[in-house]
Amino acid sequence: MTNPGGGIKRSSWLTFRRRLLLVRALLRGPATSAELVGAINVELGEQGYPEAAAAALKHDFDALKGEYGCAISYDRPSRCYALDDLGELALLDLPDACMEALAFLEASFPEGSGLPEHANLHELLRRVVLLLPPARQSQHRRRRSAVRLSMGAGGRRIDPDTLTIVTYAVEQRRELAFDYLGSFDVEQPRRHRVAPYGITFRPEGHGYLDATVLEVTPKGGEGVHAAIDYRLDRMAPGSVAVLPSVLPPLRPLPPSYQLCYTLVAQVARRRDVATYFPNTDIAYHDDGSATVTATVTNLWQTRQILLRYGDACLVHAPAELVALFRATAQGLGRLYGAT
């Protein structure tokens, strides 16, 4: 019988809320009894666990197991509890379109993928599945996505410590220094000091740091304030250091170049030429060819993109890019014995 103040009802609600918070704490990961009690008491204060909390915590575990079928395990060496299965305590359900997306992500990033952050993504997907009702979990395990994102194996595995330090520098907006072995550094890596702005993983599997060059020792062809995509796996492990200097509010502008190139009729006649660069303008001609103009800042990357066209692309400007293509053509001639 409920008293006039509603004490029993209020007590039941607090007990339910405490158990829900307990599940939420376990969803973050394995935890000791002291950590769980502390997390609940931060949320509920005096209405949380009493000073002698062991019996109350065990009672809550028993209730979660008995009433909802939750599977909670205990690891003696670490003295940690872990939530293995929510049973009937389904905290999430998803429409069919989202279930398809979940299957797509699992197919695209399977367990054991090479990149370090893939493991984090797989753990996220596992946690999402854990929140689903049992029937939806079974449905998900039977589902096979017909579509997947192709992520290549890439090159060497990225050093986990390198990725952690670079990520920290980006998040804290701090200058970064590292030894880097570029494509044309034949023997020894060079020291690069940069302003880091972001990390990107591309479909071929490589991870890149988007950074502005501040200083390179010894000097090479990199211009100051040039925007460069540094491959993370080419940073020498143990050489990466976050520097005290904080990045300015605005990113320094790299030198910009006015790009102009012509595509032959074979690739331009359908008038569906792809736009790869900012401020792109395409002029189609009666003979089926097209002249493309744009603004670019990274000449090396621009060359890599335009090389996709092979001999169907003729670069007119800037002169620096024409020189890069001329050197590439001469190198290819040496390789293939052109006369």
pLDDT in tens, 76-94: 999 999 999 888 887 788 8
Fold of the 7-85 domain: Arc Repressor Mutant, subunit A (1.10.10)
Residue 1 pLDDT exceeds 50: no
Query: DSSP letters along 85-111, please?
Result: E-TT-------HHHHHHHHHHHHHS-T
Amino acid found at 38: G
| pLDDT bucket at 117, cuts 50 / 70 / 90 | low
Query: DSSP letters along 202-266, please?
Result: -TTS-EEEEEEEEEEES--SPPTT-EEEEEGGGBPTT--EEEEEEPPSSPPPPP-EEEEEEE-HH
Same CATH fold, 257-336 and 7-85? no
Mean pLDDT (the chain) is: 86
Residue 204 pLDDT exceeds 80: no
Nearest-angstrom CA–CA distance, 69 and 98: 26
Q: Compare 140 and 184 and report the one with higher pLDDT.
A: 140
The partner residues of 75 in beta bridges, in order of sequence, read: 80
Residue 7 C-alpha from the chain's centroid: 49
| pLDDT bucket at 10, cuts 50 / 70 / 90 | low
Q: What is the structure's pLDDT at 135?
A: 83
Domain boundaries, the chain: 7-85, 96-142, 160-246, 257-336
Q: What is the structure's pLDDT at 119?
A: 65
Fold of the 160-246 domain: SH3 type barrels. (2.30.30)
Query: What is the 8-class DSSP label of residue 298?
Result: -
> Which long-range contacts does 319-322 make (Cβ < 8 Å, 24+ apart)?
320/257, 321/257, 321/259
Of 62-66, 150-154, 269-273, 282-286, minimum mean pLDDT range: 150-154
Residue 184 pLDDT exceeds 70: no
Q: What is the structure's pLDDT at 131?
A: 86
Q: Could you name the CATH architecture of 257-336?
A: 2-Layer Sandwich (3.30)
- How many other C-beta atoms can be found within 10 angstroms of the C-beta atom of residue 36? 21
Residue 56 pLDDT exceeds 50: yes
pLDDT in tens, 206-223: 789 999 999 999 887 677
Of 204-213, 277-286, 310-319, minimum mean pLDDT range: 204-213
Q: pTM (2 decimals)?
A: 0.59
Nearest-angstrom CA–CA distance, 336 and 339: 9
Q: What is the structure's pLDDT at 2?
A: 45
Q: What is the structure's pLDDT at 249?
A: 93
